[in-house]
């Protein structure tokens, strides 16, 4: 059972952590190439096992789409792609990248509401790659319920969540409601006023996504430089 929270928000009040997250991402996240954890999940699971090949022009929503790397990959594979993000820079980049469909990308309110509807809903596939862990437990639940409400019965969600094995965790302190405040200061990376809801285990992952039927749980990881640590992220594939 998922925890019950007050999911009927009457007014838009932005909490400190949501405002910090909003400000952080305004400079845009422009990834040029589709990540292997999108490419391989498509080739190994979505297409062969779940029949989401793009051949049926399946309707896909990418939540926190950044500059549209994943969207442009799915677009090339025949999906009817839509993307939302809190960053205008990212949304403009998506429009430039896919000029055929500029009205398929929109900036959204950082505050989640259970009755949010994006692009008339009715999605066959929702993807959320490294974009859902910027919510507290309560807000994550609201966002996931809102996404589920917009999916066709039996539609699929693919989400990735930062794990507590990720090196960011060792540079964070407890904040509230599942969030930790990350503070990193290296020659390459300066992160302050940055809040992450880390996932601690498979059980924690499936509990967070308990409004969906679990299909697969996995992870990806990398470690590129001695002065930094693991990039560990959990992967969740589930059904509405």
Ligand X SMILES: C[S@@+](CC[C@H](N)C(=O)[O-])C[C@H]1O[C@@H](n2cnc3c(N)ncnc32)[C@H](O)[C@@H]1O
DSSP 3-state of 78 = coil
> Closest CB to ligand X among 84 and 153?
84
Binding mask 177-216 for ligand X (x = CB under 6 A): ----------------------------------------
Total number of residues that touch ligand X (CB under 6 A): 19
**What residues pair up with 199 in beta bridges, in sequence order?**
163
List 61, 125, 126, 129, residue binding ligand X (CB under 6 A): 129
Cα-Cα-Cα-Cα dihedral sign, residues 199, 203, 207, 213: positive
- Contacts of 75-78 spanning 24+ positions with Cβ under 8 A: 75/101, 77/42, 77/53, 78/53, 78/54
- Single out the segment in contact with ligand X by CB under 6 A; choices: 23-31, 146-154, 182-190, 201-209: 23-31
List 46, 52, 61, 69, residue binding ligand X (CB under 6 A): 69
List 131, 146, 150, 235, residue binding ligand X (CB under 6 A): 131
Please report whether residue 66 would count as binding ligand X according to CB under 6 A.
yes
How many angstroms separate the most distant Cα atoms in the chain? 48
List 7, 9, 15, 31, residue binding ligand X (CB under 6 A): 31
CB atoms within 10 A of CB 28: 15
Please report whether residue 232 would count as binding ligand X according to CB under 6 A.
no
Going edge to edge, which strands form the sheet with 59-63?
105-107, 80-85, 59-63, 123-129, 151-162, 233-239, 213-220
Residues that bind ligand X (CB under 6 A): 21, 25, 29, 31, 35, 64-66, 69, 85-87, 90, 108, 110, 129-131, 134
């Amino acid at each position: 059972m998922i925890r019950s929270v007050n999911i009927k928000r009457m007014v838009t009040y932005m909490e400190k952590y949501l405002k910090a997250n909003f400000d952080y991402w305004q400079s845009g996240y422009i990834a040029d190439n589709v990540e292997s954890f999108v490419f391989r999940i498509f080739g190994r699971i979505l297409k062969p096992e779940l029949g989401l090949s793009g051949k049926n022009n399946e309707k896909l929503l990418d939540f926190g789409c950044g500059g549209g790397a994943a969207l442009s990959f799915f677009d090339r594979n025949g999906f009817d792609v839509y993307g939302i993000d809190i960053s205008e820079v990212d949304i403009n980049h998506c429009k430039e990248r896919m000029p055929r469909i500029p009205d398929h990308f929109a900036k959204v309110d950082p505050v989640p509401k259970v009755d949010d509807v994006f692009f008339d809903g009715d999605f066959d596939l929702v993807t959320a790659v490294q974009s859902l862990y910027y919510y507290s437990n309560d807000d994550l639940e609201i966002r996931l319920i809102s996404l589920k409400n917009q999916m066709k019965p039996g539609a699929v969600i693919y989400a990735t969540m930062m794990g507590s094995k990720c090196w960011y965790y060792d540079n964070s302190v407890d904040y509230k409601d599942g969030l930790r405040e990350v503070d990193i200061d290296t020659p390459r990376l300066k992160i302050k006023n940055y809040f992450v809801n880390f996932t601690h285990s498979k059980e924690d992952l499936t509990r967070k996504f308990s409004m969906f039927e679990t299909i697969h749980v996995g992870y990806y990881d990398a470690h590129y430089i001695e002065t930094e640590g693991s990039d560990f992220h959990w992967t969740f594939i589930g059904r509405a």
